[in-house]
A and B are shown apart, each in its own frame.
Chain A
Amino acid sequence: MGMEYSEREVDILVVGGGTAGPMAAIRAKETNPRLNVMLIEKANVKRSGAISMGMDGLNNAVIPGHATPEQYVREITIANDGIVNQQAILAYASNSFQMIQRLDKWGVKFEKDETGEFAVKKVHHLGNYVLPMPEGHNVKKILYRLLKKNRVDVTNRYKVTRVAVGKNHRVSGVMAVDTRTAEIVFIKAKSVIICTGAAGRLGLPSSGYLFGTYENPTNAGDGYAMAYHAGAELSGIECFQINPLIKDYNGPACAYVTGPLGGYTANAHGERFIECDYWSGQMMLEFFRELEGGNGPVFLKVNHLAEETISTIENILHTNERPSRGRFHKGRGTNYRDDMIEMHISEIGLCSGHSASGIWVNERAETTIPGLYAAGDVACVPHNYMLGAFVYGEIAGLEAVKYCEDMRGEETDKEFMVRESERILRPLKRKSGITPYQAEYKIRRLVNDYLQPPKVTRKMELGLRRFSEVRDDLEGLWADGPHNLLRAMEVHDILDCAEMAAVSSLYRTESRWGLYHYRVDYPEKDDDWLCHVQLYKDGEGRMVCKKIPVEPYIFEPDAGEIQAYERLRIVTKDMV
């Protein structure tokens, strides 16, 4: 077989141009303009990623006068049930304010009060961290302008499939495929930064529509699979992402916007049942109980608010982030003034932006492979959200610059390139077979059947068996052209993520993080499991896990604060 791929070479390669990726590329180039920095993106950087239509607020801003880094580190330590590397959270918290100032200077619009100060709101259990962005729809435009200004090499419509590692166990480049022509390229790089977002196409939404996910469905879990196959460690995979969303629409309602204006999550009687709307596993467990119990379903209630407040809410929710919310409500005849909005829980996903599943990184965004960095939803820094993606994008960009300044690139095995290009092209070479749509539907339906919490040991074991049968079926996967080849490659990523989710969930024999890891056979939290679970590929190519201790805390959370999160349910008269 002849050469089926071309080759290119750069210094720093950023994979994924959503939120963290553009920041990494811009800051790397600003720091050392002589370096050749490429941003490679599956979609188009102009409108890609979770923030393609902007955002309606920062969920976790640490702004002097409202919160301190120490407070924030303690809050997230508790929200993530003790399993955090506090150094990594602290690096975020300490850089949060300078990043907000940087974005503000670049022209991103945050809400300010009459005196020109940032108008921070309280949504979390303990501290004040939410900074609204009612005019946040232009974030991507601003990032795009800076990418152009700094001469970042933007390469759109390529799906990166694998990260290559050289003989000295350092990163050496990536394989990627053009999603419109199916041409394959090997890009040699001294340093690679993975910013590919969440594993958003893991569970099947209850609508049955594969692309009606909470996350932007371009994020199929590619980065998790790439890191795994390259030999990096992942962590907290068993801490699933599950969100409270508008039923069927499957987007946020969004309590962080409505909460500070007087809206709240209510049961069928219109009563509050949780103390605080900040998304955590503990909150989701209460949500799940209410939904399944006699008081369900669950609603977002704003119909008691004044007309002026409701118009403000509509204006924010229907122009930012997920703007088609408005037309969905209209189609169903739902009006915020009269009706409560029916809510539901999302399909499962992997996402450190909202919970904790990700590629293992330290406070310098380094993975366990030298030269390989990760930032944003795909990197394990719990509850990082959008500002965390920006902060860690910056950290990764700056660290990558330092790393490659005195580095010569690693060589990659030709055999790796040949093998990978053959793997990519296989579905195109068939004349018929299982379509990516069928394979994806089946895997994601199995994920719902066997992995959706409450987690049951026997079910997860069966799930693993079914996944391995589907893996055999994928030998017959067929793509009729480049677009379906992209989907076929994603099917492999989705299956890898499903297997990771099952393996790490089975490994942790306790319950933790509320609904995210609620194991019916091990219903209690167990202090023996106050540790990270690392998932990786062993020498024989098997998917395995190991425990590593939680690093000593810098700030010890106090008992009263811990109880606050454990007591999220409002104590009603009949419960006392």
Chain B
Amino acid sequence: MATASMSVKVPVSVDADKCIASKGCTVCVDVCPLDVLVIDMNNGVALMQYDECWYCTPCEVDCPTHALTVDIPYLVK
């Protein structure tokens, strides 16, 4: 069976200048109830990997450097 991948705009954005994932921070990844955030090892920045977001905001509120912003997902907006 053939499959294809589809790109979508995701609601979470991370300011690479503020994110301290390269210093070992994983707070947003840890708290997200849907487990959709990961640390991009190449760039040392948090990243939204799956568009499965409840726009609930623990990731944003708990981020120690205010690097992360949650927008309302486009389909919901």
List residues of chain B with CB within 8 A of the CB of A212: 54-55, 73, 75-76
Judge if B30 is at the interface, Cβ distance under 8 Å: yes
Q: Which of A47, A179, A248, A478 is the most central at the interface, judged by chain B CB atoms within 10 Å of its CB?
A: A47
Task: Select A216's contact among B33, B62, B73, beta carbons within 8 Å.
Answer: B33
In the complex, the answer to whether A43 meets B72 with C-beta atoms within 8 Å is no
Closest residue on chain B to residue A208 by CB atoms: B75
Interface residues on A, range: 35 or more
In the complex, the answer to whether A435 meets B3 with C-beta atoms within 8 Å is yes
How far apart are the CA atoms of A322 and B30 in the complex, in Å? 20
Contact with A along B41-62 (1 / 0, CB 8 A): 0000000011011111110011
How far apart are the CA atoms of A250 and B77 in the complex, in Å? 11
In the complex, the answer to whether B70 meets A47 with C-beta atoms within 8 Å is no
Stretch touching chain B among A280-288, A324-332, A550-558: A324-332
Judge if B31 is at the interface, Cβ distance under 8 Å: yes
How far apart are the CA atoms of A434 and B2 in the complex, in Å? 9
Interface residues on B, range: 20 to 34
Judge if A323 is at the interface, Cβ distance under 8 Å: yes
Judge if A416 is at the interface, Cβ distance under 8 Å: no
Task: Select A211's contact among B53, B58, B77, beta carbons within 8 Å.
Answer: B53
In the complex, the answer to whether A52 meets B58 with C-beta atoms within 8 Å is yes
Closest residue on chain A to residue B59 by CB atoms: A47
Task: Select A483's contact among B31, B35, B53, B56, beta carbons within 8 Å.
Answer: B35
Judge if A59 is at the interface, Cβ distance under 8 Å: no
Chain B residues in contact with chain A, CB under 8 A? 1-3, 30-35, 49-50, 52-58, 61-62, 70-73, 75-77
Chain A residues in contact with chain B, CB under 8 A? 43-44, 46-49, 52-53, 157, 179-180, 207-213, 216-218, 248-250, 322-324, 327-328, 331-332, 432-435, 476, 478, 483, 486-487
15 additional A-B pairs beyond A207-B76, A486-B35, beta carbons within 8 Å, are: A47-B31, A47-B32, A212-B54, A212-B75, A216-B56, A217-B54, A248-B76, A322-B56, A323-B61, A324-B55, A433-B3, A476-B1, A478-B3, A483-B35, A483-B50
By Cβ-Cβ distance, the 5 closest A-B pairs, closest first, are A43-B33, A47-B58, A209-B75, A47-B31, A324-B55
